Amino acid sequence: MKNCVKQSFISRVFCSFVHECVTTENTETMFDKIEIERFRGIRYANIEGFRQINLFFGKNNCGKSTLLESLFLVSGLSNPLLPVHVNIIRGYGKSRLNDLKLDFYNLDSSQPIHIRMKNDEIRDLKIHLFEQSSNKISLNADVASILSNVEEGDYGLRFDFKVNDNSFVSQLRFSSENPDDATRMVAESYVESLRCTYLSPKYDFSASIHGLKNILQNKDEHFIIEGLQLIEPRVKDFIFTDNEMLVDIGLAKRIPVNMMGDGARKIVSLLTAIYDCKDGALLVDEISNGFHYSVMSNLWKVLIHAAVRNNTQLFITTHDIDSIKGLRNAALGEFDDRIASFKLLRSLDDELKAYHYSLESLDYSINQEIEVR
């Protein structure tokens, strides 16, 4: 492992970790299964049958966001900063010892969080919480070498992870005297090969600026214009000036995209993220936020075509019935083999159960009125 400089945590609501990307022109690298143990409110989950576009729906507090966070953690399984960042996405940026325990099921950090995900490779991640006051002694050489130099009052997270049969270790260490700073130690011999972005409901449009510049540089601006025309059919083009996106809607002057409302900004963020995650994965929490129900079907069409064009796997949550109807209307008959939809329910013993619905059977779920408005 190698030491990195201490880092101060800055609150962000749009979280994106970009890794070296695997180049492929098929869907073989896409994930088809995840298994979760002891993460947040999920004691256990085993969900399989993922396809290129995956929609998870269900009532509030059923585990939709936790599922996306699990996917995010295992997509960057060498980065021990990720548990802290997913808390920041939720609006909680503290990193004291007891704050780190919030990620563990029933606040019990004596057993690790365990997440496994499968595509053409198997990713296996265990997240341990360590603290100097612990009386536990491990005879494992790697653990002993890590913990032997933990100073009084230090605590942190240890990532034990495997990719197929290759094992690695990363660590994030805090001092109780200054929990806002941390030292990260990462596995030198591991280079991440998956590109993944998490887009939260409270997205930060400014995070899309760099990706938009790449789109313009590659002359792919039609990719964004087609999406913006869902919100405003008069959109003709857009440019950048002084780090600001200006849109031509046929007026005497171009107007800032911010003046077009939340829907326009979010669709730009979504399409930019799909473009940036070519051959990777995009996680979107609460897809319908910022959109009128009447555009949902066309929005799904744009997202599906963009995902197929860029070989991006989408994992999307909603509790909104119009989002479900929109996906059914957009994909039925054309993209049936690329879509998977799951109704999530959490049992009394905190097992997250996923019921797989085909596009044809979504009407049944819609008629059950699973939505909580």
Q: What is the pLDDT along the chain (373 residues), one digit of tens a residue?
A: 544 544 444 333 334 444 333 333 444 568 999 999 999 999 999 999 999 999 999 888 889 999 999 999 999 999 999 999 999 888 888 889 999 999 999 999 999 999 999 988 899 999 999 987 544 444 444 544 444 444 457 899 999 999 998 999 999 999 877 777 788 888 888 988 888 999 988 777 777 777 888 888 888 888 899 888 888 899 999 988 888 899 999 999 999 988 988 888 888 889 999 999 999 999 999 998 878 888 899 899 999 999 998 999 999 999 888 899 999 999 988 898 999 999 999 999 999 999 998 888 877 667 765 544 4
Positive or negative, the CA dihedral 210, 213, 217, 221 is positive
pTM: 0.84
Domain regions of the chain by residue span:
94-193, 196-367
Length of the chain measured in residues: 373
The pLDDT score that the predictor gives to residue 144 is: 43
Helices 296-310, 262-276: inter-axial angle, 10-degree rounding: 20
The pLDDT score that the predictor gives to residue 150 is: 47
User: Strand (E) positions, 18-52?
Assistant: 33-39, 42-48
β-pairing verdict for 53-57 and 313-318:
parallel
3-state secondary structure of 260: helix
For the domain covering 196-367, report its CATH number: 3.40.50.300
Burial (CB count <10 Å: 0-12, 13-18, 19+), residue 223: buried
Spatial separation of the C-alpha atoms in residues 43 and 36, rounded to whole Å = 8
DSSP classification of residue 20: P
Spatial separation of the C-alpha atoms in residues 234 and 214, rounded to whole Å = 24
Cα–Cα distances (Å) from 104 to 1, 10, 66, 81, 97, in that order, read: 25, 23, 12, 15, 12
DSSP classification of residue 202: S
Helices 82-89, 64-75: inter-axial angle, 10-degree rounding: 150
3-state secondary structure of 130: strand
First to last CA, the chain: 48
